[in-house]
């Protein structure tokens, strides 16, 4: 969790997670770096033991709350071409 939060603060991270309710797998490029997104709010402190992570979804230009236990994988950078 700490590595993920650090990567989000530094740049773009792609999160692959299962949406609650639908079970749909979502691939989302996101960040916590205000220089990379269209937001001015900066989250300065996170609890690494939290059940959720709030992050800025670059593809939706909106904040999203993702439950940690639904994350299937994450990697630095934008989504890989399939």
- For the cut 80, the answer to whether the pLDDT of residue 42 exceeds it is no
DSSP state of 7: H
Percent of the chain past pLDDT 90, that is, above it, reads 73
User: Do 18 and 70 meet the contact criterion of CB atoms below 8 Å apart?
Assistant: yes
Tokens 């230009």 sit on residue: 61
Calculated CA dihedral for residues 63, 66, 1, 23, nearest 10 degrees: -150
Lowest average pLDDT, out of 21-30, 51-60, 73-82, goes to: 73-82
- In tens, the pLDDT along 4-17 reads 999 999 999 999 99
Segments in the chain forming alpha helices (H): 2-10
Average pLDDT over residues 42-58: 86
Model confidence pTM above 0.75: yes
Would you say domain 2-75 falls under CATH 2.60.40? no
């Amino acid at each position: 969790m700490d590595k993920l939060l650090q990567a989000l603060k530094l740049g773009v991270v792609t999160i692959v997670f299962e949406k609650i309710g639908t079970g749909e797998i979502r691939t989302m490029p996101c960040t916590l770096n205000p220089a990379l997104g269209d937001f001015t709010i900066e989250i300065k402190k996170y609890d690494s033991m939290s059940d959720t992570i709030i992050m800025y979804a670059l593809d939706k230009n909106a904040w999203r709350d993702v439950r940690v236990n639904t994350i299937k994988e994450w990697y630095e950078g934008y989504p890989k071409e399939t």
